[in-house]
Amino acid sequence: MRLWILLLVLLIVAFAAAFGWQMVATDPGYVMIRLGGWRIETSVVFAIVALLLLWSVLSLLVRLSRWPFRAWSHRTQRRGRERIAAGLTALAEGRYGKAMRDLERASHQTGLRAPALLAAARAAHASGESARADASLDEAAESEPAAALALRARFLIEQGKPDAALDLLQAAQSTAPLAPSAQRLLAEAALMCGDHASALDALTALGRGGQLAEATYESLQARVVTAALHAAPDSVRLNTLWTSLTRAQRSLPEAIDAYARRAAALGVVLPALDEIESALRKTWSEQLARTYGELGEADADTRLRRAEGWLDAHPNSPGLLLTLGRLCLQAHIWGKAREYLERGLSIEPSADLWETLGECFLGQGDEEEAARCLRNALRIARGEAVEAVSRSALDTRASAVEHRSEHGVPRLA
């Protein structure tokens, strides 16, 4: 198809050239230029050719006259790029004095001024020269105020002044929307200052922008939501905050854990249990399985029956086995508690399992074995080898681990 189009264009050009030549051959035209006592007479074709040649000569002269300036400009730009590259390399290597010298020289180049000054401010801050860093940020703010603001707030946070960073960012936000990096720093500073409302607002703005990586945003979201829930002063405000969260935020295991623990601490245990049970029915979480056994002794028998129902689908869950052991302890079912705890130790030994097993022995009146188990809890927390438990009934050797699907169906090895 393209070949046919090219042939058609060539035919049109050839036809136009032949037609034009025919016209020029019959009547080449007449041009006369008269200036004072001078008079120039020629044909139209010659005048056009002469004008084209004159234009070519003038263009060549202009280019030749500009060549030294262009060469000087290219050399300056090349040296600026070399300096900023050397400055950034020195900054990464920790040679802050050299980095500041190279970057400040590179800042004299027009196109590199703002990034060079921002990098120079980083070098000055890293070397402890706060005044020099502030001066570089002031100059960078003339052309890139958003980047300079975010970097200034980051420096304040790193200096241990989150309250000053929060005031700075909130004042800037009242006049114009913040850049994504500044919004993230606002959330971090508000979180450090205990201003959870501002942190949640900044989190919402970050979510709308979608500038952060999904894993980074989820991590920040979990920290902000968890801190806000833990800080709820009473059950009314806790429930108000919980219902104001988005569905995605309420589905975070960290958020559910924080809500359940805070609700239980405020004496509202049943809603906390309902949230955990609802979450575990949708998606299994070791964290929530552990938390289910740490919410006090309320409704222990019912919780034990429900947790035992989860065991069919998750027989190798250390968190669930620990929770079953704790719930059996609350119900004074010592034998079953030991069975669950020993099974958990055979799958994945932990300090919590050893500690709970010690409580089980203590409940049975065996203080010697209880003390040994508690010592093992301390040993495993320090990464040391555990002490052998002399009681013959205790068996923490590795047992055959059963693998099942999410529906509780056993899988072939």
Tokens read off for 179: 């850049």
Tokens read off for 181: 């990096």
Domain boundaries, the chain: 77-143, 309-413
| 369 neighbors 391 (Cβ within 8 angstroms) | yes
- 4-21 mean pLDDT: 76
Query: Residue 325: is it exposed, middle or buried by C-beta count within 10 angstroms (0-12/13-18/19+)?
Result: buried
Tokens read off for 298: 């309320």
Helices 145-158, 180-193: inter-axial angle, 10-degree rounding: 30
- 322-343 mean pLDDT: 92
Where does the pLDDT of residue 408 fall: very low under 50, low under 70, confident under 90, or very high at 90 and above? low
Where does the pLDDT of residue 410 fall: very low under 50, low under 70, confident under 90, or very high at 90 and above? low
CATH number assigned to the domain covering 77-143: 1.25.40
Residue 68 to residue 208: CA distance in whole angstroms:
51
**Residues of the chain by 3-state class (helix, strand, coil), percent to 5:** 75, 5, 25
pLDDT of residue 304: 92
Where does the pLDDT of residue 72 fall: very low under 50, low under 70, confident under 90, or very high at 90 and above? low
| 162 neighbors 156 (Cβ within 8 angstroms) | yes
- pLDDT of residue 112 exceeding 70, the answer is yes
Where does the pLDDT of residue 385 fall: very low under 50, low under 70, confident under 90, or very high at 90 and above? confident
pLDDT of residue 51: 81
> What percentage of the chain carries pLDDT values higher than 90?
53
φ, ψ for residue 40 (rounded to 5)? -120, 130
Lowest-pLDDT choice from 39-53, 331-345, 362-376: 39-53
User: Which CATH number applies to 309-413: 1.25.40.10, 1.10.1040.10, 1.10.287.4070, 2.40.40.20?
Assistant: 1.25.40.10
Query: Residue 23: is it exposed, middle or buried by C-beta count within 10 angstroms (0-12/13-18/19+)?
Result: exposed
Task: Determine the length of the chain.
Answer: 413
Residue 124 to residue 135: CA distance in whole angstroms:
10
pTM of the model: 0.73
pLDDT of residue 399: 46
Lowest-pLDDT choice from 59-68, 191-200, 307-316, 337-346: 59-68
Residue 222 to residue 261: CA distance in whole angstroms:
15
Q: How many other C-beta atoms lie within 10 A of the C-beta of residue 162?
A: 21
Tokens read off for 413: 């090895």
pLDDT of residue 322: 94
DSSP code of residue 402: P
DSSP code of residue 283: S
Amino acid at 251: S
Lowest-pLDDT choice from 36-40, 144-148, 296-300, 349-353: 36-40
